[in-house]
Amino acid sequence: MNHYVSHLEAAIDGTVLPFGRLANTHTGRPIWVRYHLDEVRAAVAPAAIAARAPSLWRYRELLPLPLDQEPVSLGEGMTPLLHCARLGNQLGLSNLFVKDESQLPTGSFKSRGMAAAVSMARWLGVKRVALPTAGNAGGAAAAYAARAGLECFVFMPHDTPVVNQFEAQLYGAKAFRVNGLINDCGKIVKDGAERMGWFDLSTLKEPYRLEGKKTMGLEVAEQMHWHLPDVIFYPTGGGTGLIGMWKAFAELAELGWLRAEGPAGGGLRYPRLISCQAEGCAPIATAFAKGERFAELFPNARTVASGLRVPVAVGDFMILDAIRASGGTAAVGAEAKIAGWMQRASSAEGISICPETAVCFDVLERMAAAGEVKPDERVVVFNTGAAPKYLEAMPFELPTIDKGAVDWNLIER
């Protein structure tokens, strides 16, 4: 055996599916990867992982790629977990951390999922991949496909941020704008899968992007010395990262790698997951509030946080199950506060905060003020991408100085 996967499992009904051949969905719903965790436990310990290179592939036994296969890698991970004392102080929090995913290849967390998915696709014989994207997934898919030597087709709504359009072309993808929304793009990918011989890389429509995203949870745990934070704020579009982290924590618990909290004999404590969406596109928050397990399509989706422009998520029930199991909640941030929070958080800490994460800070501020997050709780906010990928989200204009007559009062303003 050269991997630790036991089988695939349909998330909606537990149907067991075979590993080792191409898979997309089961009855239109996502598929889990399951591992022989007892064998992983026997094969590797946290101390061995600590000695490995700082890449998400350090968790190799918890990833699906066979051990004799070279990953498709651009050097992804580990990303820093940055303590934010100044911003925490403003919010009344002494243990505020930002997990800065902007430092990944292509400047966003999407690289984690694509590293795993493209590695698996190449191994399973795929030659061309396709996906719809409203933001960073297109650039990440294009980059990993290029690294793997696969063809990549990317379809994005016409109002996708200009940097995302630029990067798809940079990496040599066959990239197109579509006069519609992301679901229109998704339909083209679906229709083309058979006609064009594409493998569909859409969010949660193959099993392995989820496994790559899972490494966010593995890294947080390792960086906190195998303790978990008390609360996680996560901007939720398709929700793969949130679902993946929850899966990671469960696997770590079963492995026995997590440390108990409090005095000896104390049990494990899992973080409360706070799923954050923008008011202009909040299907998960809406379903959560109604107590439902499945989310309805959010009409007229509209937000400058392009990664949150996901009106319907195929993994809705997985997201909602995880939030509820964690004792967390799904909340909504104000559109009008996005640009302000990008600048406020970025200038407080020097971290490049994207609009999706700005939404998280709006939610966090409200919850901290209401006492729903306690002052000494360990809070981790995920910064899922680099702010300059969203030029459209924060209007700016620099004042001009005349070199011949420098206005020192303007400079001191």
Q: Toward its own copies, which CB reaches closer, 104 or 243? A: 104
Give the nearest distance from C-beta 91 to its own copies in angstroms.
17
Give the nearest distance from C-beta 163 to its own copies in angstroms.
5
Look at residues 385, 382, 361 and name the one whose alpha carbon lies nearest to residue 88: 361
Give the nearest distance from C-beta 312 to its own copies in angstroms.
16
Give the nearest distance from C-beta 146 to its own copies in angstroms.
4
Q: Toward its own copies, which CB reaches closer, 28 or 399? A: 399
CB within 8 Å of 76: residues ≥ 6 apart: 55, 56, 104, 105, 111, 112, 115
CA–CA gap between residue 173 and residue 159 (Å, rounded) = 18
Indicate the residue type of 27.
Answer: T
Record the tokens describing residue 26, joined without a space.
Answer: 């089961």
Q: Toward its own copies, which CB reaches closer, 8 or 163? A: 163
Alpha carbons within 13 angstroms on the beta-carbon side of residue 165 total: 12
Task: Return the biggest CA–CA distance within the chain.
Answer: 75
Give, for 115, the enclosing helix (H) or strand (E). helix 110-123
Look at residues 216, 208, 211 and name the one whose alpha carbon lies nearest to residue 234: 216
Alpha carbons within 13 angstroms on the beta-carbon side of residue 375 total: 3
Give the nearest distance from C-beta 82 to its own copies in angstroms.
6
Q: Toward its own copies, which CB reaches closer, 107 or 238? A: 107
Give, for 328, the enclosing helix (H) or strand (E). none
CB within 8 Å of 367: residues ≥ 6 apart: 274, 331, 373
Give the nearest distance from C-beta 349 to its own copies in angstroms.
6
Q: Toward its own copies, which CB reaches closer, 272 or 389? A: 389
Look at residues 308, 273, 391 and name the one whose alpha carbon lies nearest to residue 342: 391
Give the nearest distance from C-beta 78 to its own copies in angstroms.
7
Look at residues 325, 296, 321, 322 and name the one whose alpha carbon lies nearest to residue 311: 296
Alpha carbons within 13 angstroms on the beta-carbon side of residue 84 total: 30
Q: Toward its own copies, which CB reaches closer, 173 or 258? A: 173
Q: Toward its own copies, which CB reaches closer, 41 or 177? A: 177
Question: The tokens 């398709």 sit on which residue?
Answer: 238
Give the nearest distance from C-beta 189 to its own copies in angstroms.
11
How many residues in the chain?
A: 413
Q: Toward its own copies, which CB reaches closer, 240 or 352? A: 352
CA–CA gap between residue 229 and residue 254 (Å, rounded) = 18
Q: Toward its own copies, which CB reaches closer, 222 or 316? A: 222
DSSP characters over 142-158:
HHHHHHHT-EEEEEEET
Give the nearest distance from C-beta 268 to its own copies in angstroms.
25
